[in-house]
Every structure is written in C-alpha cells, then in structure tokens.
C-alpha cells in the first residue's frame, strides 16, 4: 500500500538520506531540500527530486518555514518529514504544514508546545505519576536566588525550549547563579528563539537513559527498551547503547510503563522519546520529552528489528502501528552507536570542516554506517559537525564492543580531524567495558588523557 505519493524531507545530510532510504522501500517519492552549501551532499543525489531553498546560513534555508513550505507546494509533496534538529520541534512549522494542507510527519503543534516546553512537560509527567527531580514550578523570571534556595545546590539552570544540550548550566553555589541564568537564557534565545529557563536539582553522577515510544491515532502505543546515553561531553551525546548495562528487567518495565502513561496522558500521536536520569540505586526521574526522531534511533531499530521512520510514516497516514508491544519487548542482543564528528579533539573539540581526501567505511556482519559524505566531499562549516554514525549489533554487549573495536579500526577518514580515535579510546576503556559509566565518564576519560601527556 502506498500511503503518500511524495514526501519532502525538511533536513539535510545523514538523517535526510536515512529517511529517503525508507521512502524508497515504501515506494514513496522523496524531495530533498538543500542550501547552496549542500548542493553536493548525497541526500540531494539520492532523492527523487531536489530543490534549493536558499543560501548556506540555516536561518535563510533549513530554518526558513516559508521556503520549505514553498518547496513542498512546488513539488506537490503530500507530507513533510522534519528529521531531527532545525524545524523538527517547531510547533509553528507543524501548524504551517496543517494550514497548507500538508501532512506533518510528527506530533501536532499542541502536543509539541506542551511536551517540547520542558517546564510544561514536567507538569504532564507529574500528572502521569512519573517521578521528577525537585525543581521550580514552571519557568523562573525573577527572584532567582529565592527560587534556588528552595531547591538547594547544586542545581541546573535549563532552557525550557529546545534540546541538544543547549541552554544548560550547572550551578554549585549562589554566587554563580545570576551569571548562569544569563548565559543559559541567551544561548537558548539564540538557538530556539525562546530564552525561558527553569531550575532543577542536580543529581550527582547519574546515568542518562531514555525510552523510545510510538503512539498512533487509534490509541495504540508501544514503548521500546531503554537506550543508555551516559557517554556524553557537555551534554552532547557521543555514544549510545541499548539496552543499558545498568537496567534490570524490573526497572526496564517501570521505565517503559512510564513512557506509555505519558504518551496516553498527553494524547500524543507520533514517535517520541522520554528522557530520564537514573541514580546509583536505580531510581529514575523524568527529565524531558523529545517530540521527534532521535539521532540514536538506529540502536533501537537493531535490537527490535523495527524501522522507526516507517512507523512515523504509517502513523502520519492514519494507519495503526505495524509492531506490537510483545514484539519489541522480546528484543534481541545489544547495539551501540558511535557518533563520528568532524572535530579536533586535541583543540577543545573545535569543528574541522574541509575536503574529505580519503573515506573508508567499515563493513561486515551487523555493521551499519549512516552518512552523507564520500571521498572528495567538501564538508561545509555552517552546520552540525556529525559526519557519520557507526551502528553495531552483537548477540551480547561483550560481542558488540568487540565488533565496535574491529569496525572503528577499519574506519578511516583523512583531510579533516574526526572523533574516530576518541571512540576507540572509549571502547577500550576498562570502566566502559565493565559498564561502570555515568554522565561524568567522558570528563574523567579526557582529564586522564591530559594528565598522561
């Protein structure tokens, strides 16, 4: 069955190409949009059609709603898939699609506003009987010191809108608070055009785990096994795996049940992710909801044999989910995703754009590489630094790590700096191998590297 004739992908690079591949398998034509800087990207080559929507700066192209809508109307697209980043969590974009009679492949604007706004999402979590970290009752606009005193230090100042680790500051004492609020608010305003912030108690050395869920318009809902995203630097994820080495069956069932309750309470229609903090005693606390596809969605796909983009398309077309809870609960093996970024690790992770002189990707059984680059490609400096995602599956975590080591040793990119060697250090680390990691793991690993020089 053909659910849509043509879908425009309002994104670029790796995720655009990943969506195009599923659309081809579903016999649906695709439209790629691109900025002038992305004319040579693989997603442009692989789409059925491609439309240039503006100059390189994202606010003049990928973030320009009128340009994206115009491209959809010009090409006769029935629907738009936003991918992740850019307009993916922008309720105005979802509403603009609806106004023009174009299906938005994601939740409606109302759900996005409620759950994409982190302070509002906390209220929904409470209504869904999900534990939350102590924090302010909504956003904080004044009396910062008084509000912080109620929570206690250390605490986090967090942007109410957006994601991706932006607009977040750790405050350990009162003297740091006003500056942290100003910095977090300014960063959030620049990134999401919304400078609202709220305060949340800081949990020392937690794990960052998340639950993928999908809910169709008929009320069918499925939650997937957890992903562990604790291997991160400055709130930016570097490696994700599923299942978590720290989560037992009982905690997994509790986490998955919590995600289902939240999806039903909010009447959410689409694919989304609930993020939690997990302490050393396996207590978990609601953190936020991402109302879009996650970068790390392939690890869930690997262990559950599910195409999450296909599920998004089915839901948007008014169809029921093609997978059941029993299917995804009966997952198999272990998956790891390595984010390969164009960054100079030895120069404070500075972006490293430029020409790809050589590009050799790993292969073999249960090895997947999602990327939009190739030998000779000129990587622009305007966008996110992610070059590729290396996704590995193994029957056990130990096997997946061994396969990761082999695949990373095969992965070779020259002409620019990348994080391949850093990923090798992670999988060769004894604490990582033992599963003894938390959100502070990377800082300790990098500090150890500094002292070893």
Give the C-alpha separation, 188 to 245, whole Å.
33
Please say whether the beta carbons of 437 and 231 come within 8 A.
yes
* Backbone φ/ψ region at 152: left (φ over 0), alpha (ψ -120 to 50), beta: left
Beta-ladder partners of 31: 8, 49
Instruction: Write the burial class of residue 271 (CB in 10 Å: 0-12 exposed, 13-18 middle, 19+ buried).
Output: buried
Compute CA distances 344 → 135, 378, 417, whole Å.
36, 17, 5
- Catalytic: 169? no
Structure tokens at 224: 């997937």
Catalytic-labelled residue, pool 207, 252, 292, 368 = 292
Query: What is the set of active-site residues?
Result: 292
């Amino acid at each position: 069955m053909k659910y849509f004739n043509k879908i425009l992908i309002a994104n670029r690079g790796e995720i655009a190409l990943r969506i195009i591949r599923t659309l081809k398998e579903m016999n649906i034509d695709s439209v790629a949009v691109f900025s002038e800087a992305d004319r040579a990207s693989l997603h442009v080559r692989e789409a059925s059609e491609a439309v240039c929507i503006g100059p390189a700066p994202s606010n003049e192209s990928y973030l320009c709603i009128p340009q994206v809508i115009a491209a959809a109307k010009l090409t006769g697209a029935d629907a738009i898939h936003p991918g992740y980043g850019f307009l993916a969590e922008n309720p105005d974009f979802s509403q603009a699609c609806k106004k023009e009679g174009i299906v938005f492949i994601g939740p409606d604007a109302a759900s996005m506003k409620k759950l994409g706004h982190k302070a509002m999402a906390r209220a929904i979590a409470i209504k869904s009987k999900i534990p939350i970290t102590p924090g302010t009752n909504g956003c904080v606009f004044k009396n910062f010191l008084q509000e912080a005193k109620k929570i206690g230090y250390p605490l986090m100042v967090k942007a109410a809108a957006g994601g991706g680790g932006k607009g977040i500051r750790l405050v350990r004492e009162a003297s740091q608070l006003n500056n942290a609020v100003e910095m977090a608010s300014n960063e959030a305003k620049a990134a999401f055009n919304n400078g609202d912030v709220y305060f949340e108690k800081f949990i020392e050395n937690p794990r960052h785990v998340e639950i993928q869920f999908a809910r169709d318009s008929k009320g069918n809902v499925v939650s997937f096994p957890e992903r562990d995203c604790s291997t991160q630097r400055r709130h930016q994820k570097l490696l994700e795996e599923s299942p978590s080495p720290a989560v037992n069956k009982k905690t997994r069932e509790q986490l998955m049940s919590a995600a289902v309750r939240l999806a039903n309470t909010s009447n959410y229609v689409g694919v989304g992710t609930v993020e939690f903090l997990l302490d050393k005693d396996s207590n978990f606390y609601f953190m936020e909801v991402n109302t879009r596809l996650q970068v790390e969605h392939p690890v869930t796909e690997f262990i559950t044999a599910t195409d999450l983009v296909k599920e998004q398309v089915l839901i948007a077309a008014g169809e029921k989910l093609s997978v059941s809870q029993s299917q995804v609960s009966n997952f198999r093996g272990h998956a790891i995703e390595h984010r390969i970024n164009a960054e100079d690790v030895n120069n404070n992770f500075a972006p490293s754009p430029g020409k790809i002189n050589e590009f050799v990707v790993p292969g073999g059984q249960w090895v997947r590489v999602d990327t939009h680059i190739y030998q000779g490609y000129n990587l622009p400096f305007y966008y996110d630094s992610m070059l590729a995602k290396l996704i590995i599956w193994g029957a056990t975590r130990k096997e997946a790590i061994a396969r990761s080591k082999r695949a990373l040793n095969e992965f070779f990119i020259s002409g620019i700096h990348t994080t391949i060697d850093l990923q090798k250090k992670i999988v060769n680390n004894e604490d990582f191998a033992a599963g003894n990691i938390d959100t502070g793991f990377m800082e300790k690993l990098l500090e150890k590297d500094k002292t070893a020089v």
